[in-house]
Amino acid sequence: MATAPKKTAAPKKAAAPAAAAKKAPVKKAAATKAPAPKAGAGQTAINVAGATGRISQVIGAVVDVTFTGQLPAILSALETDNNGNRLVLEVAQHLGENTVRTIAMDATEGLTRGQSVRDTGAQISVPVGPMTLGRIMNVIGEPIDERGPVGAAKSNPIHAEAPLFTDQSTEAEILVTGIKVIDLLAPYAKGGKIGLFGGAGVGKTVLIQELINNIAKGHGGVSVFAGVGERTREGNDLYHEFLDAGVIAKDADGNPTPEGSKVALVFGQMNEPPGARARVALSGLTMAEYFRDEEGQDVLFFVDNIFRFTQAGSEVSALLGRIPSAVGYQPTLATDMGQLQERITSTTKGSITSVQAIYVPADDLTDPAPATSFAHLDATTTLNRAISELGIYPAVDPLDSVSRVLTPAVVGQEHYDTARRVQETLQKYKSLQDIIAILGMDELSEDDKLTVTRARKIQRFLSQPFHVAEVFTGISGKFVQVEDTVKSFKAVVDGEYDHLPEAAFYMVGGIEDAVAKAAKLAAEAA
């Protein structure tokens, strides 16, 4: 798309006018949460906003800055000018000899030794609140959609502690998505973390859009989308698809507007330096935490792709002088991942439920990066190309998607039994497919024939028309309540609807829709 390169170039241009607007909130955040001082050998780390240092060394994304006297604290944000653009540096280490080592949040080409750097006295802060909805921001909260300043009343620092145990909600509760295959077979825990696995073109984006839409309709909640190290073109396409689907609202003149928008977008794409990619997930999470803690909402937080978060950390780790760990990853891999994931949880005020796309390098599930992510997941939703080739959408694999909360204690005995019977029927059908391919249906026993016909109906019944795809399919979207989903599938596996044709189950909501479609098909045939 022609606009994609323009979107990446935009932050540099938008940064200058936005800089003045951003500096004030950054300072304000210092009062609410100053980073903990951490001193080097014999040095004093005191946050004095406005203390000035000079660049002593630039190695790729890592910049060393020397101060006279007082040093900025670890995680403090420093600012310098790079060819007219505001460049933010985050303090990572105190090296001794009054020098701090920092990670740059943008390109360092153009920096020179001896250049002046100012300590802001606070962490990197990003705008939070309703004004962020419908906007696209970068890692430091600057707008990159060429629509002027965000205008948020408040900014929060991106580093925060996970909620205390006393503030966390211990009740296991499912988050109703309105999508039958997810709610029945691999339900999402409120405040849980879901891994989304799928190749290119199997419907990840449409599924994400529908989840954002349904959370807004079913729970009145908002969503935050963090694009971490993925293609700029995909981010650009996603934004335009959100506009077309109404996930981002438009005013009377057709321009995007925060009022009525359901999602805030934060991007640090794969063309950006590792500093931005290593922090953009935290920027998005900070925005999501505001909606959970201040507005008491059930928030959906999307990360695409969590692997790139780890990858960016490994890129800067060697430059920071750390000895690599297994497979060349950073030695702090588990800590970095834990600090992000532990902030994603349910509290007594609201919840953040996270859906994380996970890239598995070379399909090796034992690679330390995906393996560390798996330890935090409550559910996995696996999209299967073979199912999408049958025209069944969402192309969720009912046998390969699992959830920790699919237990009788959480979802109830009837839901659990129905889900297991559905999976059992589909598994039997899968094992019979080789026989059918070689010998045909006629060679099956009567029981097996019945299993196959029911399984094919279940397979089609797991498809569902999406609200966000209405403009493409012409079929109105369906939000199906869990009770209806369980009741409908129980009736199908019990054989109550064996008389209905397969076609009646395709792209409908509840069982009543299937009955109505069967009547319509019969009328058309007559």
Q: Which two tokens stand for residue 236?
A: 């650009």
Instruction: Give the residue from 499, 480, 516, 492 showing the smallest Cα distance to 394.
Output: 480
Kindly report the CA angle at 238 between 236 and 242, in degrees rounded to 5? 120
Handedness of CA 321, 324, 330, 335 (dihedral sign): negative
Q: Is 279 a catalytic residue?
A: no
Bridge partner list, 81: 86
Instruction: Give the residue from 327, 301, 305, 299 showing the smallest Cα distance to 314.
Output: 327
Bridge partner list, 71: 45
124-154: b (≥16 Cβ within 10 Å) or e:
bbbbbbbbbbbbbbbbbbbbbbeeebbebee
Which residues, at least 6 apart from 416, have a Cβ–Cβ distance to it below 8 Å?
406, 407, 408
Find the catalytic residue in 79, 142, 230, 272.
230
**Neighbouring C-alpha atoms within 13 Å toward the C-beta of 295:** 17
Count of beta carbons in the 10 Å neighbourhood of residue 292? 26
CA 396, CA 481: separation in Å to the nearest integer? 18
Do residues 367 and 154 make contact, with C-beta atoms less than 8 angstroms apart?
no
Instruction: Give the residue from 40, 43, 38, 26 showing the smallest Cα distance to 121.
Output: 26
Q: Is 204 a catalytic residue?
A: yes
DSSP E strand stretches across 170-288 = 174-175, 188-189, 193-197, 223-228, 263-268
DSSP E strand stretches across 373-465 = 379-382, 402-403
The number of residues in the chain equals 526
Distances (CA, A) of 123 to 58, 65, 238, 339: 21, 17, 30, 16
Kindly report the CA angle at 143 between 10 and 76, in degrees rounded to 5? 110
Binding site feature residues for ATP: 198-205
- Phi, psi torsion values for 263, nearest 5 degrees: -145, 145
Binding site feature residues: 198-205
My answer on whether omega of the bond before 11 falls inside 30° of 0, hence cis, is: no
**Neighbouring C-alpha atoms within 13 Å toward the C-beta of 98:** 11
3-state secondary structure of 197: strand
Kindly report the CA angle at 200 between 194 and 202, in degrees rounded to 5? 70
- Longest CA–CA span in the chain (Å) reads 91
Count of beta carbons in the 10 Å neighbourhood of residue 414? 13
Find the catalytic residue in 6, 231, 430, 520.
231
Residues designated catalytic: 204, 230-231
